C-alpha cells in the first residue's frame, strides 16, 4: 500500500496539580477513595458521550470508549503510530488501486458469541449508508461501487475510481466492525457488543462504565489489565484534580494551561502528540449574512493567528489558513498564512451591506480545550472590525444534542483525520457533518481527483487548489492546528495517544 505521509509521536513526561475540593467530588459516584491500589481497576476520566456505537461517534471520548469494546480492521500502534492490521489478516489491491480485497482474521468472536465473518464487514459498511444512522463515513466511502463476499472471511471492494489510500479510511473511529446479528438500534448504547479487549459489566450513561477483560480476545496476552473503570466527568479541571488525588489513572485531555505545571512534577506523566486537531469557527453558508463570501472573508481577516495560538494553545501547534489541511501532511501546499487586516474586514462588511458591522452568536463547547478560549479571543479580535460576538458556551453533550448542524455559527473540537477523509465529511456537498452547509462543485471535483492521485507532487498541486478555495471561500475560521496532551499517574504504563483518537487501552497496566 502507498502511504503518502508519516506520523510521529513526541512524548514528554512528569507533571502534577495541587488538589482542590473538587477532586473528591468528581468521584462521588464511586465514593471518596485513597490512592489507587496496584490491583485496582485502571480508571479513565472522560467527558460524557451521548453515543458509543460506531457510526454515531462524535467526540474523542466516544472513540476512547469504543477502543475498549470494539476493534478495527487496522490500528495505529506504538510511539511511531505504525499502521497495523488488527481484524484484517491481509489486504491486496490491483495495479490501479481500484479493486481491494480484505481477508479477515479467523477465530475472532464478538461478545455475543458470533464468529467474525465477511457478513459482519459487509453489514458494517452498509450501515454507514443508512440515513437513520447518520454516519459521517457515508461521505468517506462514496467511491465504493460494489462489495462482494468472496468467501467466509474475504470481501472484495470495487471502487469507482482509484484510491491508493483506501485502507487508511478504515482508521476512522466510526469504522469499527460491528456484528450482523445484533440489535444495535435497541441495545447498542445500553449493552455494547464488539470484538474488543473488554466487555461491559455495568454502564450508567453520563456517570460511569465498568469493563472487564475479554477472556476470548484474539490477541494473546492482551489486554494486560483485568478491569477498567471509565468515569464520565465534563470539566477538565475536575478531571485533573481527581487524577492528582489518586482517584483516577488516566485523563485523555490535559488543558494547555496546565501542561507546564505538570511537567515540573514527578507524580503524573504527560504525553504530547503532534497532529491535526483544530477548533473551527464554522458559519452556515445557507443563512444570512454568511451566504455572502465577503462576510466570511471579513470573519477570517480579524484573526491574529499567532496571538491566538500562543494564548489559546500555549503555542503548542502550527498556524492554519482556514483550509482544514494540517501542515504535517507531505502533500500540504505551503501557502502564505493570511494576516490580520481589520481595515479590509471593515471594507468587506461595508461592501456586503453591513457598514455598521454585524452581530454574531457563536455556540461552542465549554469543556474541550481550547474551544472556549478560541472563541473568547475571537470575540476580542473581531470587535475592532464591528463584528459583535455573543458567546454561548455549553457542555459537549448539550452541544451535539441541540446545536451541532443546527446553529448558525459554532465552534467545537475536531480531531485528526487523513485530510481527504476530513474534507469528505466536513465540506463536501451534502456530507453528514458539513455543519457549514457548504457546497462548491469545483471543490468536490478536486477532492475526487486528489483521492485518486497517487503521485505526491501531483497531489500537492491539487491540494494547493483545494486549500486556496477553502481559505478564500470556505465556511470556517481555522486559526491553528494544535497538539494534544494526556496525563496519567506515573505508575500507569502502556497508555499512548493516537492520532485517530482510538487511544489503545489494551497495553495499559499499573507498574
* pLDDT range class, residue 4, cuts 50, 70, 90: very low
pLDDT tens readout for residues 179-218? 999 999 999 989 999 999 999 999 999 999 999 999 999 9
Per-residue confidence (pLDDT) for residue 36, from 0 to 100: 58
Per-residue confidence (pLDDT) for residue 397, from 0 to 100 = 87
- DSSP-assigned beta bridge partners for residue 414: 278
Mean pLDDT across the stretch 156-161? 97
DSSP string, 354-399: -TT-EEEEEEEESSSTTHHHHHHHHHHHHHTTTEEEEEEEE-HHHI
Q: 280-478 architecture in CATH?
A: Roll (3.10)
pLDDT digits (tens, 9 = 90+) for 367-382: 889 999 999 999 999 9
Instruction: Give the tens place of pLDDT for each residue, 247-278.
Output: 999 999 999 999 998 888 889 999 999 999 99
Q: Is 66 helix (H, G, I), strand (E, B) or coil?
A: helix
Q: Say if residue 69's pLDDT is above 70.
A: yes
Reported confidence tier of residue 511, pLDDT bands at 50, 70, 90: confident
Contact between 385 and 357 (Cβ < 8 Å): yes
CATH of 22-71+187-273+486-510, picked from 3.40.190.10, 1.10.3720.10, 3.50.50.60, 3.30.2130.10, is 3.40.190.10
Same fold, 22-71+187-273+486-510 and 280-478: no
Q: How far apart are the first and last CA of the chain?
A: 37
113 burial (CB, 10 Å; 0-12 / 13-18 / 19+) is exposed
Share of the chain above pLDDT 70, in %: 93
C-alpha cell recorded at residue 183 = 440489535
Element (H, E) at 88: strand 88-93
CATH number of 74-184: 3.90.76.10
Alpha carbon distance 462, 467 (integer Å): 9
Instruction: Return d(Cα 271, Cα 267) in angstroms, integer.
Output: 14
Q: What integer is the mean pLDDT of 230-238?
A: 92
pTM of the predicted protein model: 0.87
8 vs 92, residue with greater confidence: 92
Chain centroid to CA 105: 27
Whether the Cβ atoms of residue 284 and residue 301 lie closer than 8 Å to each other: no
CB atoms within 10 A of CB 82: 10
* Residue 340 CB neighbour total at 10 angstroms: 18
Collapsing DSSP states into helix, strand and coil, what is residue 434? coil
Q: What are the boundaries of each domain within the chain?
A: 22-71+187-273+486-510, 74-184, 280-478
Amino acid at each position: 500500500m502507498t502511504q503518502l505521509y508519516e506520523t510521529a509521536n513526541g512524548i514528554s513526561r512528569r507533571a502534577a496539580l495541587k488538589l482542590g475540593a473538587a477532586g473528591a467530588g468528581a468521584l462521588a459516584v464511586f465514593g471518596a477513595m485513597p490512592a489507587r491500589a496496584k490491583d485496582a481497576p485502571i480508571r479513565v476520566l472522560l467527558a460524557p458521550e451521548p453515543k458509543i456505537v460506531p457510526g454515531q461517534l462524535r467526540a474523542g471520548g466516544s472513540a476512547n470508549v469504543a477502543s475498549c469494546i470494539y476493534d478495527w480492521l487496522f490500528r495505529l500502534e506504538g510511539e511511531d503510530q505504525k499502521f497495523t492490521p488488527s481484524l484484517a489478516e491481509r489486504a491486496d489491491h490491483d495495479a490501479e488501486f481500484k479493486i481491494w480485497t480484505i481477508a479477515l482474521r479467523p477465530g475472532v468472536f464478538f461478545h455475543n458469541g458470533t464468529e467474525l465473518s465477511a457478513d459482519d464487514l459487509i453489514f458494517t459498511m452498509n450501515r454507514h449508508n443508512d440515513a437513520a444512522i447518520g454516519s459521517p463515513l457515508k461521505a468517506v466511502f462514496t467511491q465504493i461501487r460494489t462489495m462482494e463476499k468472496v468467501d467466509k472471511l474475504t470481501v472484495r471492494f470495487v471502487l469507482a475510481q482509484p484510491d491508493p489510500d483506501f485502507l487508511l479510511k478504515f482508521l476512522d473511529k466510526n469504522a469499527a466492525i460491528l456484528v450482523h446479528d445484533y440489535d444495535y438500534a435497541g441495545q447498542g448504547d445500553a449493552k455494547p457488543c464488539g470484538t474488543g479487549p473488554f466487555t461491559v459489566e455495568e454502564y450508567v450513561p453520563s456517570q460511569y462504565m465498568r469493563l472487564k477483560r475479554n477472556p476470548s480476545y484474539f490477541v494473546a496476552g492482551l489486554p494486560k489489565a483485568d478491569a477498567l473503570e471509565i468515569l464520565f466527568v465534563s470539566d477538565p479541571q475536575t478531571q485533573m484534580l481527581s487524577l492528582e488525588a489518586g482517584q483516577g489513572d488516566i485523563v485523555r485531555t490535559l488543558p494547555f494551561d496546565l501542561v507546564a505545571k505538570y511537567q515540573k512534577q514527578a507524580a503524573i506523566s504527560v504525553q504530547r502528540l503532534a497532529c491535526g486537531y483544530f477548533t473551527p469557527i464554522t458559519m452556515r453558508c445557507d443563512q444570512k449574512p454568511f451566504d455572502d463570501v465577503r462576510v466570511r472573508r471579513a470573519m477570517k481577516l480579524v484573526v491574529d493567528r499567532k496571538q491566538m495560538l500562543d494564548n489559546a494553545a500555549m503555542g503548542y501547534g502550527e498556524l492554519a489558513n482556514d483550509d482544514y489541511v494540517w501542515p504535517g501532511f507531505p502533500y500540504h501546499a505551503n501557502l502564505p498564512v493570511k494576516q490580520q487586516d481589520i481595515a479590509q474586514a471593515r471594507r468587506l462588511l461595508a461592501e456586503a451591506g453591513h457598514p455598521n458591522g454585524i452581530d454574531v452568536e457563536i455556540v461552542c463547547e465549554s469543556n474541550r480545550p481550547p474551544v472556549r478560549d478560541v472563541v473568547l479571543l475571537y470575540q476580542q479580535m473581531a470587535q475592532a472590525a464591528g463584528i459583535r460576538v455573543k458567546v454561548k458556551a455549553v457542555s459537549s453533550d448539550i452541544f451535539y444534542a441541540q446545536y451541532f448542524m443546527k446553529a448558525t455559527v459554532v465552534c467545537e473540537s475536531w480531531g485528526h483525520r487523513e485530510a481527504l477523509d476530513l474534507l469528505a465529511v466536513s465540506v463536501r456537498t451534502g456530507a453528514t457533518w458539513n455543519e457549514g452547509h457548504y457546497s462548491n462543485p469545483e471543490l468536490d471535483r478536486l477532492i475526487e481527483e486528489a483521492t485518486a492521485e497517487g503521485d505526491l507532487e501531483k497531489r500537492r498541486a491539487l491540494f494547493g487548489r483545494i486549500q486556496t478555495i477553502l481559505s478564500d471561500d470556505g465556511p470556517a475560521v481555522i486559526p491553528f492546528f494544535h497538539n494534544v496532551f494526556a496525563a496519567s499517574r506515573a505508575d500507569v504504563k502502556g497508555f499512548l495517544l493516537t492520532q485517530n483518537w482510538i487511544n489503545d487501552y489494551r497495553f495499559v497496566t499499573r507498574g
